[in-house]
């Protein structure tokens, strides 16, 4: 018990210098920032703006690709076009889609960047053209 009393007495009497306080606080700030930016998920305003811009571009391409797939599969010769698409090499499929006009959106002068690649990837993953359920419902009525 005498050792505990001496330690607590020394702790109570300890007076750190201003230099020690400054460097302790500075070290804690730097360590907090390192942990926050690496493991805590913190980002700078520039990084957040770049991430938002990239997400918007990807979302626009995904939307245009989905519309492209819809245009492609609702065309009258969709099965033949799918066979032609699968017959082309993988690096020429986006050109096939662009040349076919399926990636064009009304009111836009240019194609959406990346949409033709996504559209070609989605279409080449299909085995057959899905049946158009809207057309089937209209014929039943």
Where along the chain do its domains lie?
47-129
Please state the length of the chain.
141
| SS percent in the chain: helix, strand, coil, step 5 | 70, 0, 30
Of residues 138 and 128, the one with the higher pLDDT is 128
| Contact of 64 with 107, CB cutoff 8 Å | no
Write out the two tokens for 2.
Answer: 């005498």
What pLDDT does 141 receive? 47
Of residues 92 and 111, the one with the higher pLDDT is 92
In this predicted structure, the answer to whether residue 121 has a pLDDT above a threshold of 50 is yes
Mean pLDDT across 107-131? 87
What pLDDT does 136 receive? 42
In this predicted structure, the answer to whether residue 135 has a pLDDT above a threshold of 50 is no
Q: How far apart, in whole angstroms, are the C-alpha atoms of residue 8 and residue 86? A: 80
Q: What are phi and psi of 72, to 5 degrees?
A: -65, -50
Q: Which among 121, 109, 110 has a CA at the least distance from the CA of 66?
A: 121
Q: How far apart, in whole angstroms, are the C-alpha atoms of residue 105 and residue 112? A: 8
What pLDDT does 12 receive? 83
Q: What is the pLDDT of residues 43-59, one digit of tens each?
A: 999 999 999 999 999 99
Q: What is the mean pLDDT of the chain?
A: 86
| Contact of 102 with 64, CB cutoff 8 Å | no
Q: Which among 94, 91, 51 has a CA at the least distance from the CA of 72?
A: 94
| Contact of 122 with 65, CB cutoff 8 Å | yes
pLDDT confidence band for 16 (50 / 70 / 90): confident
Does the pTM of the predicted model rise above 0.85?
Answer: no
What pLDDT does 19 receive? 95
Mean pLDDT across 100-121? 88
What pLDDT does 133 receive? 38
């Amino acid at each position: 018990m005498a050792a505990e009393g001496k330690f607590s007495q020394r702790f109570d009497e300890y007076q750190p210098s201003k230099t020690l306080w400054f460097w302790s606080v500075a070290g804690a700030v730097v360590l907090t920032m390192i942990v926050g930016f690496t493991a805590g998920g913190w980002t700078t305003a520039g990084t957040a703006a770049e991430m938002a811009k990239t997400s918007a571009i990807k979302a626009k391409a995904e939307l245009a690709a989905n519309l492209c797939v819809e245009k492609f599969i609702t065309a009258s010769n969709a099965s033949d076009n799918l066979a032609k698409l699968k017959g082309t090499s993988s690096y020429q499929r986006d050109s096939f889609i662009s040349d076919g006009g399926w990636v064009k959106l009304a009111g836009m002068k240019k194609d959406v960047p990346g949409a033709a690649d996504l559209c070609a990837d989605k279409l080449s993953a299909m085995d057959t053209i899905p049946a158009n359920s809207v057309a089937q419902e209209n014929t039943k009525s």
